[in-house]
Amino acid sequence: MKQITFIRHAEVDIDNSKKMGSSSLQKWVKKYDTSPICENSLPSSQTIKLAKSADILITSSLSRAIDSAKVLGVEVEEGSELFNEAAVPKINIPFLKLKPKTWLVILRVLLLVGFGKKDTSLKASKEQAGRATQRLLELSIKNDHIILVGHGGMNWLIRKVLIKRGWKLEGKSSHENWGASILKKI
């Protein structure tokens, strides 16, 4: 039986509490992409055990995923931009100030309804997820259990593609930091 386990990275050490305008969000996202993970954001013993049971562990190329894999105590076999988080569309809404996580929720919803330029569109993210899925399937030929330490949005898109290809979700999926979602193919 083949298994692909998706683990979302640790919490990132960045201030999420200050409201900002939409024009400041892209700077915040760039800072988020390079910020370290929180030292007190630790995986459960069950997640560590799961990671250590894998034949291969892969990550995105973003530091929060790579650093999270190090905390799991397992060697990263491959890091790839294929597994990086889906792009965030740029938007300019003057006079509206929201917390970064609120902006991200709004922008993800807008992305789902077709908002975004070519490189930050839902179509582009789905194409990336398709290429990422193909890589996971290639790896599953030689590996029975793959762990991907990645990101909430892209992990979700990849899981959707795998489910369409006959993989089954075991239990519930988790979108929380350090949350794990397991797909199996018999």
Beta strand spans in 26-167 (E): 56-60, 78-80, 97-98, 145-150
Tens of pLDDT, residue by residue over 29-66, are 999 999 999 999 999 999 999 999 999 999 999 999 99
Which domains does the chain carry?
Answer: 2-185 (3.40.50.1240)
Tens of pLDDT, residue by residue over 139-163, are 999 999 999 999 999 999 999 999 9
pTM of the model: 0.92
Q: From CA 156, how far away is CA 94, in angstroms rounded?
A: 31
